[in-house]
Amino acid sequence: MIPGLKSHTLLDNSKYKSRGLPAGLPAVPTERCSTHETKILDMYCGNHDEVGCTTCMALNHRSCADVQSIPDIVESKFQTTDVDKIHQKLQDLKMMMEEIIKIRQRLIENLKKSKTRAVMAIKDFRKEMETILDKLEKESIKELEMNFIEKESKLLEEKTKAVNELDGLKQAVNDLKKSEGNKAQQFVSLKMSLKIIAEMEAVSRSLQTTVDADISFSFDPAILEFLQQLKTFRPVRHDSATDFRSQRTTAYSVKRIENLNIRIQNDNQTSHVYGSCLTEDGSLLIADNNNSKIKRADIVKMSVTDYCCVPATPNGVCCTSKIGAAVCLSNKTIQFVSLGKTMTIIRQIKMTHYCFGIAHKDDKLYITDNNGHALYIHDMTGAVLLTITQDNAGKSLFTYPRTVAFSDVDDKVFVASWDKGLVFIDGQGKHCQTVTDSELNIVSGVCTDRRGNLFVTGHRSNNVMQIGRDWKKKGVVADSSDGLKRPLSLCFDTRQCKLFISQGSSDVVKIIHLQ
């Protein structure tokens, strides 16, 4: 017999009668043990707060002092309110689990869609590579053709010279032969022949020089070696802003710096860029205010590949889809641009307020008005959904609001407010906080790294500051020592960890590689 365990083989029905229970129907459990299936879960170990069958108790709780029969202790241990609490807890957990299932199902569906998009991106990249290879092939053949023409022309020239010299030799032979019988003429012909022989020997020596008439092609082994080392086009990324593992908590540092020249042939003035953004395919869109153009730059070839003129000076620009962008024009207009093989302007929306900075999210346009001290939220038809001008105390929230960015982890909106700082707003338009720092003088631009951090430009402090997920300064990423001068806007390439920074009155966009 187990120590501390009362015998319960024979139950006394009389005590159940005294508790108001029918005789012959003792208050005993009915659930069977999952381990010992023939046994009932009718035992309780108070030391471990566990229920089990007699075999479980004999095997696992032999040394426990407080092992009793459930029918013996149920009246003292059991409370109906406990069942209600546990029932509510189970219901809460059930609802939580159902919500998790819904979320996971939605994530699975999104994952499948993202896989399809990724496969298409791989195929598109393959086509792009084929286009590049076709161009390299054409250029290589063109270079080969020029080499061939150069060598062929030289050989034809030498051949013509040899033919002419041969004709001269034949004529000298005939003249010498004809002069036989006339010593005076033979003397003249002899002397002329000697002169011709001297000239021909010199020509012969130059023409007999060994000439390499072959054309061959030898590829650059570095290209083949590079391709052979690749296992994939690039590592597959798991884009999940809410995934804790994807958050970056350390400060960025500069790895190297490049200068992208955005001036094109028909620019009349030095570029002045208030807004820029990256397209889905990785191109850089640039709103060149001074030249009234939207320029598209290839950040691999490091050159402007395309542009379109807009009917007024452009301020901000943002992508609205894979093939579309929206531009703030100085004449209170939002100009939509198609991002096809060549950029073209399409429809316009006339606004009642000035349009400066612009960002797009969930089919809404977030537009700042700079001088008007407001942030407007519009739908895609131009209707105003919300106008934000004041903080929670009713005071002016912005001074010269510029660019807009969105949080990676919640519904917050960030607005670069020229001399107020970086203003945080929630999804309902309520002011959350304003970030300022002594090292950040005149906030002109803001963007996110998609890993919980913000990059903010200081126009007069000539720097870029990193702000972490806790909204505290991580440090200054780049400054004037890196060549920054009056930065105006910035955007971040999450794929290649690059910052693109436009500067006041400059044809150069700074590209800062971070690590």
Digit-coded pLDDT (tens) for 353-385: 999 999 999 999 999 999 889 999 999 999 999
Q: Are the beta carbons of 389 and 398 closer than 8 angstroms?
A: yes
Q: Which of 26-35, 71-80, 84-93, 445-454 has the highest mean pLDDT?
A: 445-454
**Residue 53: partners with Cβ closer than 8 Å, 6 or more residues away:** 32, 33, 35, 36, 39, 40, 41, 42, 43
Residue extents of the structural domains in the chain = 13-78, 107-229, 252-514
Q: 3-state DSSP call for residue 163? A: helix
Q: What CATH number belongs to 13-78?
A: 3.30.160.60
What value does the CA radius of gyration of the chain take, rounded to a whole number of Å? 42
pLDDT exceeds cutoff 60 at 100: yes
For β-strands 284-288 and 273-278, DSSP reports them as: antiparallel
| Residue 390 DSSP class | B
High-pLDDT (> 70) share of the chain, % = 90
High-pLDDT (> 90) share of the chain, % = 57
pLDDT at 354: 97
pLDDT exceeds cutoff 70 at 53: yes
3-state helix, strand, coil in the chain (%, to 5): 30, 30, 40
Confidence of residue 121 (pLDDT cuts 50, 70, 90): confident
pLDDT at 1: 42
pLDDT exceeds cutoff 90 at 61: yes
pTM: 0.56
Mean pLDDT calculated for residue range 36-51:
94
**Residue 159: partners with Cβ closer than 8 Å, 6 or more residues away:** none
Q: Are the beta carbons of 464 and 254 closer than 8 angstroms?
A: no
Fold of 252-514: Neuraminidase (2.120.10)
pLDDT exceeds cutoff 90 at 320: yes
pLDDT at 22: 47
pLDDT exceeds cutoff 80 at 244: no
Left, alpha or beta for 64 (phi > 0: left; psi -120 to 50: alpha)? beta
pLDDT at 256: 95
Backbone torsions φ then ψ of 417, nearest 5 degrees = -105, 105
Task: Kindly report the average pLDDT of the chain as a whole number.
Answer: 87
Structure tokens at 150: 């150069």
